[in-house]
Amino acid sequence: MYTINWADLTPETFMKEYWQKKPLLIKRGFEDFQDPISADELAGLAMEQELESRIIKHNNFDNWQVEHGPFEDFSKFGEQDWTLLVQAVNNWSETTSALISPFKFLPNWRIDDVMVSFSTPNGGVGAHLDQYDVFIIQGEGKRHWQVGLPDNTLEQLLPHEDLKQVSPFTPLIDEITEPGDILYIPPNHPHNGVAIENSLNYSVGFQAPNGQELVSALADTMIDKCLAENRFGDSERTPTETPELLAAKDIKALQSFMIESASDLDVFSDMVASFTTRSHHTLELLVPVEPFNEEAVIGYLNDPEIFVRPVLGIKALINEQNGDFYINGDRVAITDTTRELASILAKNEPLTTDRLKSFTDCLINVQMLTSVLNMGYWYID
């Protein structure tokens, strides 16, 4: 269980003063920090096909090389000047996924994944910008971190085709991080971490759709659901003397027509809830070989030794607009009776059968639980 030691801040003051505004280093943000994964275990994950991993190496901060995993052997990289980065480790390591909970003062739909890096002395990815907010936690070892402010005059560099960097920047934060330190970096703030000794870093990363992604997802939804098939009409038109004109008022009417067909909040909220709960990384879904039926689920729930757990990395939420439960891009319709259980499931925390007991009297709650188990999003342990 990780808890943030906010010192003289609170989640409220952090959100007001720093979130998306200013970088911040919280020294010993996690008191007595225990690494959720070891460098060896991380190397083991980087040998797996399902995980996205890369190694970045340099020669005296020049001649940058990038190799993509899966890796078979790390010995050729030597003792220093390289870093291994593994995406979405929270989808495979339960202990790493526990690093997300302390950031639940932000909603599920904003959270993306936990990327873990192992760096040898002088290892790092170089000065760069990211488009998303991130909290970088220092695990074992020490690293020299510099973070600056957004600066349009920084030069974009491409020292390797897979590695974007920026020219040197003026640091606002220039510190050596130690185990348990938490560094918050808002989007587009240049930053650079250089390991001083073998070092593990955990990046709790956030997601935010851009306008283009939303327009494209909304257009797909409207087309799939045949929601934009009505045609523009102009029964109030008067004769024109300038037929060559696409008149300004026609342009406005066409735009209003289009905005109106796209402005249905139920359609939009359904699209956005599916969109934000879809994982960007491989998940290990646990679809049962034989689907469960309700009696079997009730049987399991009678056993106090059993846990019902969400698959690691699964994203879920309740859509406040339509009240429905969304999990991994799927919509599960909710009624007054199933609302409480859906809210519990959307928190994505393992549940004891004892916790679920009060819901088993009601068949439609059991049916909902059965369907998330059969979709492979939750499992019985």
Tally Cβ neighbours within 10 Å of residue 62: 7
Residue 371's binding partner among ligand SIN, Co ion, none (Cβ under 5 to 8 angstroms by kind) is none
Instruction: Collect all residues with Cβ–Cβ distance below 8 Å to 268 and sequence separation of at least 6.
Output: 218, 262
Is the CB of residue 334 less than 8 Å from the CB of residue 304?
A: no
52 binds Co ion (CB under 5 A): no
Whose tokens are 């199933």? That residue is: 338
Per CB under 6 A, contacts with ligand SIN among 243-302 are none
The one among 4, 100, 125, 218 contacting ligand SIN by CB under 6 A: 125
Distances (CA, A) of 194 to 39, 76, 117, 122, 174: 17, 20, 12, 5, 11
By C-beta, is 200 or 271 nearer to ligand SIN? Answer: 200
> What are the tokens at 295?
């009696």
By C-beta, is 114 or 316 nearer to Co ion? Answer: 114
Tally Cβ neighbours within 10 Å of residue 103: 17
The one among 46, 191, 301, 325 contacting ligand SIN by CB under 6 A: 191
CB of 190 to Co ion, least distance (A): 9
CB of 191 to Co ion, least distance (A): 6
By C-beta, is 56 or 317 nearer to Co ion? Answer: 56
Strand blocks (E) in 40-187? 53-59, 62-68, 82-86, 111-119, 134-138, 143-148, 156-160, 163-166, 171-177, 182-185
203 binds ligand SIN (CB under 6 A): yes
By C-beta, is 128 or 355 nearer to Co ion? Answer: 128
175 binds Co ion (CB under 5 A): no
201 binds ligand SIN (CB under 6 A): yes
53 binds ligand SIN (CB under 6 A): no
Please give the Cα distance from 204 to 103 (Å, whole number): 8
By C-beta, is 138 or 277 nearer to ligand SIN? Answer: 138
Per CB under 5 A, contacts with Co ion among 130-159 are 130
Any bridge partners for residue 205, and if so which?
Answer: 113, 134
Please give the Cα distance from 2 to 101 (Å, whole number): 7
> What are the tokens at 113?
């994944």
CB of 346 to ligand SIN, least distance (A): 29
Tally Cβ neighbours within 10 Å of residue 293: 13
The one among 41, 52, 67, 130 contacting ligand SIN by CB under 6 A: 130
Residue 319's binding partner among Co ion, ligand SIN, none (Cβ under 5 to 8 angstroms by kind) is none
Residue 274's binding partner among ligand SIN, Co ion, none (Cβ under 5 to 8 angstroms by kind) is none
By C-beta, is 130 or 250 nearer to Co ion? Answer: 130
Is the CB of residue 7 less than 8 Å from the CB of residue 26?
A: yes
By C-beta, is 127 or 267 nearer to ligand SIN? Answer: 127
Amino acid at 59: N
Contact window for ligand SIN (CB under 6 A) among 124-132, 290-298, 314-322, 329-337: 124-132
Residue 117's binding partner among ligand SIN, Co ion, none (Cβ under 5 to 8 angstroms by kind) is ligand SIN
Please give the Cα distance from 182 to 249 (Å, whole number): 55
> What are the tokens at 306?
């059993």
CB of 123 to ligand SIN, least distance (A): 8
Indicate left, alpha or beta for 246 from its phi (over 0: left) and psi (-120 to 50: alpha).
beta
Site residues (vs ligand SIN, CB under 6 A)? 83, 117, 124-125, 130, 136, 191, 193, 201, 203
